């Protein structure tokens, strides 16, 4: 009997042991390659060790949809490989991590807007400066100091970050693909593009705040702000789907981007989150 026949006979007699050995060998090879090439997925943790999952355990999406309030629990970063979860669970985790951050920044913006509405003669100069508005131009400042409906924030975060699995989300706390063009400044270098870097944020919350500030101040989103102000004047609630049409400048697929966002918002039933606030003890 030749050597190859002996090997086949041994494998057939010891199939389970051989398969187990091959699986173990594959794991060892994968670990070795990860070490050799420096592929560590950003130091991601096992679910049981995830600080993000631990912090957002108190968030019930069912309750948030009913009450419009989310517990004040904040994750600094996504420290787990969400792609390892089945799609329904991955989406639930993603929303539970991001919603409190959206609510916190929205509440901060609401506090700024309250000063504009209640005490227009006492608006601090720093608020004009923060939003890039000339001193005394209250009309423009009111257009800029306003919330972004949470359904729109969540939809863009999910779409731009691959539900929190992108390199930029994991390594840069950047859920929205925000970029800068100062090549001498720190940032993440895209693999398939040149001339810009993707901004690295210290935390997910910083990234959410920068994204909202971008939509509230950049000239590319002026029409979004005008439409939002018109909704305010008409007494209409601000909703994500109503503003998706004004984000064509955000994407390299401008003709489809709004439709894609609206479909995601509808499919995931996100509009009940639009006015989300942080829960209080009162």
SS3 122: helix
Summarised one tens digit per residue, pLDDT across range 177-217 is 999 999 989 899 988 878 999 999 999 999 999 999 999 99
**What's the whole-model pTM score?**
0.83
What's the Rg (C-alpha) of the chain? 24
Kind plus residue range of the DSSP H or E element containing 180: strand 179-180
Q: How far apart are the first and last CA of the chain?
A: 83
Which tens digit of pLDDT belongs to each residue from 90-99? 999 999 999 9
Helix (H) or strand (E) holding 157: helix 150-161
- 132 is written with which tokens? 């890039």
Report the alpha-carbon distance of residue 72 to residue 272 in Å, rounded. 18
What are the tens digits of pLDDT across the range 12-66? Answer: 445 544 444 444 444 333 333 333 323 344 579 999 999 999 999 999 999 999 9
Bridge partners of residue 197, in order along the sequence: 180
Please tell me the predicted confidence (pLDDT) of residue 217. 98
- The bridge status of strand 277-278 relative to strand 197-198 is unpaired
CA angle in degrees (0–180, nearest 5) for 278-172-248: 75
SS (H, E, C) 64-75: HHHHCEECCCCC
- pLDDT for 281: 64
Rounded distance, CA 113 to CA 107, Å? Answer: 10
What's residue 38's pLDDT? 31
């Amino acid at each position: 009997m030749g050597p190859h026949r002996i090997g086949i006979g041994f494998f057939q007699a010891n199939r389970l042991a051989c398969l187990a050995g091959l699986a173990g060998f594959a794991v060892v090879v994968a670990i070795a390659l990860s070490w050799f090439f420096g592929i560590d997925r950003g130091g991601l943790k096992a679910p049981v060790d995830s600080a993000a999952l631990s912090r957002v355990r108190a968030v019930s999406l069912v309750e948030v949809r009913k009450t419009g309030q989310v517990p004040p629990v904040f994750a600094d970063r996504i420290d787990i490989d969400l792609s390892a979860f089945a799609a329904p669970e991955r989406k639930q985790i993603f929303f539970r991590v991001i919603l409190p951050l959206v609510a916190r920044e929205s509440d901060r913006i609401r506090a700024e807007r309250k000063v504009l509405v209640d005490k227009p003669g006492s608006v601090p100069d720093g608020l004009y400066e923060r939003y890039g508005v000339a001193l005394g131009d209250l009309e423009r400042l009111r257009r800029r100091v306003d919330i972004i409906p949470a359904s729109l924030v969540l939809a863009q975060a999910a779409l731009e970050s691959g539900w929190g699995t992108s390199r930029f989300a994991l390594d840069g706390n950047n859920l929205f693909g925000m970029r800068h063009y100062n090549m001498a400044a720190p940032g993440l270098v895209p693999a398939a593009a040149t001339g810009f870097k993707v901004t690295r944020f210290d935390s997910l919350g910083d990234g959410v705040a920068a994204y909202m500030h971008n939509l509230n101040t950049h000239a590319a989103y002026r029409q979004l702000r005008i439409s939002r102000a018109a909704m305010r004047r008409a007494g209409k609630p601000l909703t994500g789907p109503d503003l998706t049409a004004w984000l064509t400048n955000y994407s390299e697929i401008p003709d489809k981007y709004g439709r894609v966002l609206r479909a995601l918002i509808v499919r995931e039933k996100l509009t009940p989150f639009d006015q989300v606030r942080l829960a209080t003890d009162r």
